Amino acid sequence: MASSQTSNLLGYLPRDTQIHRLSGVTKLISFILLSAIGMISYDTRFLISLALFGIIIFKLADIRYDDIRLVIRFILVFAILNLLTIYLFAPEYGVDLYGTRHVIWEGIGRYTITQEQLFYEFNLMIKYFVTIPPGLIFFMTTNPSELAASLNRIGISYRISYAVALALRYIPDLQREFKSIAQVGQARGTDLSKDAPLMKRIKGNLTLAIPLIFSSLDRIDTISSAMELRRFGKLDKRTWYMTTPLKKADIIAISIVSLIVLVGLWLILLNQGRFYNPFV
């Protein structure tokens, strides 16, 4: 059972923890607020504190490294590529941003290495691990049906809410189907292991994507027909089996997140902007 759970990229993990027992509305509001303040703020002290807070929540939610290993690797690769691209096109953007210039290495031409640029890109690196974890925690601790009820509860149409829930439910099925198709391909001689050349693996996976797309379209058509036969979407409102009322723990959680957001806004006022400048 554990192996099937750890294979899910963003699947719901049904565990009995304090975070899982919170209402979907609470987790949705917390996710939006923490992501927003994490994207807005460039205060290094605040961002590091948010990253540590995220690690604590991961621990409370019993989300292990194996559960998010693929996501963490994807974040690292994307973050490194993004940081390299920023340096390639704007190697001294940090100098312009912070108003000082402390050279570490003169480099070649305009490609110098300064403390300001490294500090700016360090902040960007932290932001990835501040803004993405709340989303992972939200999706991995919230039942898709409860998520649909939560979205509808904050004013989103139940049709859109249900579509989001169906998409999340389909992610594990999509992964299992891809693995099944991959196993069939390997049985026919298509080598997708680590021993195969990179380009061969890429071409092999692209080949597997074609039957996966057709099977997905077929499943979508089946689900759409079933929902249409049940007259889904004909009424303006609907009831939910998985809706959860707010409890004391939800109020405490929202209060803690609200306090964190207020601290972030206070630091923006204190720094007279979004950026913390240690060079002045």
What is the Cα–Cα distance from 147 to 172, expressed in whole angstroms?
16
What is the Cα–Cα distance from 55 to 64, expressed in whole angstroms?
10
Mean pLDDT, rounded, of the chain: 80
Given a cut of 90, whether residue 252 has pLDDT beyond it is yes
The 8-class DSSP code of residue 22 comes to S
Range in 37-41, 131-135, 248-252, 253-257 with the lowest mean pLDDT: 131-135
Tell which wins on pLDDT, 279 or 254: 254
pLDDT tens, 53-73?
A: 988 998 888 888 887 887 788
Given a cut of 50, whether residue 7 has pLDDT beyond it is no
pLDDT of 3: 42
Given a cut of 90, whether residue 259 has pLDDT beyond it is yes
C-alpha atoms less than 13 angstroms from C-alpha of 54 in its C-beta half-sphere: 23
pLDDT of 258: 94
The residue type of 77 is V
**Distance of CA 247 to CAs 88, 202, 251, Å?**
50, 49, 7
Strand boundaries in the chain, DSSP class E = 103-108, 111-114
pTM score of the predicted model: 0.73
42, 262 Cβ separation under 8 angstroms: no
pLDDT tens, 74-124?
A: 888 888 898 899 888 888 888 888 888 888 888 787 788 888 889 999 998
Three-state secondary-structure class, residue 191: coil
**Distance of CA 225 to CAs 160, 220, 232, Å?**
17, 9, 10
pLDDT of 46: 92
Ramachandran angles phi, psi of 33, nearest 5°: -65, -45
In whole angstroms, how large is the CA radius of gyration of the chain? 23
End-to-end CA distance of the chain: 55
Three-state secondary-structure class, residue 107: strand
What is the Cα–Cα distance from 137 to 34, expressed in whole angstroms?
12
Q: Per-residue b/e over 225-240, b at no fewer than 16 CB within 10 Å?
A: eeeeeeeeeeeeeeeb
Q: Per-residue b/e over 172-187, b at no fewer than 16 CB within 10 Å?
A: bebbebbeebbeebee
Mean pLDDT of 183-210: 68
The residue type of 123 is N
What is the Cα–Cα distance from 242 to 262, expressed in whole angstroms?
31
pLDDT of 205: 67
pLDDT of 198: 64
Evaluate the CA torsion angle 155, 161, 164, 165 in order and state its sign.
Answer: positive
Mean pLDDT of 157-185: 73
